Amino acid sequence: MQEYPPFLLAVAKGGFMYYLGIDVSKKRSDYLILDSQGERFQRSFSLENSREGFEALARRLEEYNLSPENLLSGLEATGSLWENLYSFLIEKGYKVVLLNPYQTRKYHQALRQKATTDQLAALVIADLLRSNRYLSSMVAEEEIEALRELVKLQYQLEGEKKRLQRRILSLLFVVFPEYEKTALKKVFGIAPRKILEKWPTAKDLATAKPRQIEKLVRSIKGNNFNISEIEALIETAKTSIYSGRAREVRSFTIRLLLSQLERTLSSLKKIKEEIEKILSPRDESGSFPGDNILSIPGVGKGTLATFLAIAGQKGSSFSSAKKVIGYLGFYPQIYQSGEKRRDNVISHQGPNYARQSLYMAAVSCIRHNQEMRTLYNKKVSQGKSHKQALIYVAKKLSQMILALLKSGKPYQPERVFVSPTALPHFREVIPAYF
């Protein structure tokens, strides 16, 4: 005999069902309870997000005779603020629905005239639960949640790294415009950074001795500076057009920015190591989440980590390839304002970190994956721009990764890129093409 959850049995037997809407904020949460008729069961209340606040909630529910058998609770999956309260209620045995903020916002719009209380969000959530029109969001496994935090932070720090590099370059073009003609041309290499930390401007470098610079860079692994390059660097600095204006402040600024860049690079290295730990074999089988995805040439652990973060260990966050493309924003939209109209503008819906990761993976794939390179060339030959063709490759790659996550099978290009003419009965199905 099939067993049903207690909260479904309560409905089946015609018992009262109650709906607890929870609006979680940073320090407090608002609570509102509706009965099955949409009437308020009790006055709304607010409690702190603390152990005492959670225990006070449990006592209130008990006082109201609300139990796991007759109460359905819901809260929005906004950021990570929901996690602690969600886990507390689950541990107490309550049925809790994690709601997509987009659907609660749409439902709120439909109830705009009806919902006029201070605890508006909690009321909307409770009524959405009562309507039974909601879709529950997936609660990620702990490893997937960890990857999500890591890839988000990685994306933020990559942005910070680029910002610092741009700022340093803008200053360097003033204090040493000729640096590109010297051994410092790869300015963000380890050796050039160390040199600039000690001698940030052309005026500073002009006072340096070749042996001082040689001694500084000698211990750096991978350094290939030779004495002639160092001497040429100093001579170029001596003839630099830098006027020397604001030298002290600009030297201080460059040193400070280089120090911040060093910390950012160190943090990015640590994040990469943490991702490597999660995506490494844990047992004798040598497998780990999504290991079959790495069989796609051009796809590395960075791309895998990002995709697992949005799709889950087995791709369960998306029921179809179409939905993952929609989530990532890999689809065109029309922009029109007055007489101005732009077609095929990519949507910016979805997380930027995921879209950028898949886009960069597409760049890697057209270098290392013959089938993807052929697909890219085909789109370019059809008149698509470089970026449009890359986005098409990124879409194809996203679809492939989702399919492989769900199947658990390795990459098989002959199945993914099968020619229509190779399909059975193709000539019989579409005879007009022959």
Residue 156 belongs to domain with CATH number: 1.10.287.4070
Average pLDDT, integer, range 67-71 = 92
Tokens matching residue 244: 């020397």
Band the pLDDT of 415: cuts 50, 70, 90.
Answer: confident
Average pLDDT, integer, range 168-175 = 97
Q: Residue 357 domain-assigned? A: yes
* pLDDT on residue 198: 96
Half-sphere exposure of 263 (CA within 13 A, CB side): 7
Q: Which domain does 29 fall in, by range?
A: 6-131
* pLDDT on residue 361: 95
3-state helix, strand, coil in the chain (%, to 5): 55, 10, 35
Supply the mean pLDDT for the chain: 84
332 and 246 in one domain?
Answer: no
Band the pLDDT of 424: cuts 50, 70, 90.
Answer: very low
* pLDDT on residue 114: 52
Average pLDDT, integer, range 338-344 = 49
Q: How many distinct structural domains can be found in the chain?
A: 3
Q: Residue 161 domain-assigned? A: yes
Burial of 44 by CB count in 10 Å (0-12 exposed, 13-18 middle, 19+ buried)?
middle
256 and 305 in one domain?
Answer: no
Band the pLDDT of 339: cuts 50, 70, 90.
Answer: low
Q: Residue 433 domain-assigned? A: no
Q: What would the pLDDT profile of 204-246 be if each residue is shown by its tens digit?
A: 999 999 999 999 998 888 777 889 999 999 999 999 999 999 9
Q: Residue 426 domain-assigned? A: no
- Lowest mean pLDDT, pick from 138-147, 187-196, 252-261: 138-147
390 and 339 in one domain?
Answer: yes
Q: Residue 15 domain-assigned? A: yes
Q: What would the pLDDT profile of 47-64 be if each residue is shown by its tens digit?
A: 999 999 999 999 999 999
Q: What would the pLDDT profile of 362-407 be if each residue is shown by its tens digit?
A: 999 999 999 999 999 999 999 999 999 999 999 999 999 999 999 9
* pLDDT on residue 326: 86
Q: What would the pLDDT profile of 177-188 be if each residue is shown by its tens digit?
A: 999 999 999 999
Helix (H) or strand (E) holding 268: helix 247-278
Average pLDDT, integer, range 324-352 = 64
Whether 304 contacts 279, CB under 8 Å: yes
Helices 352-368 & 142-175, crossing angle to 10 degrees? 80
Rounded-to-integer distance, Cα 175 and Cα 425, Å: 71
Q: Where among 275, 303, 336 does a domain terminate?
A: 275
326 and 296 in one domain?
Answer: yes
Q: What is the pTM of this model?
A: 0.72
Rounded-to-integer distance, Cα 359 and Cα 13, Å: 52
320 and 247 in one domain?
Answer: no
Q: Residue 286 domain-assigned? A: no
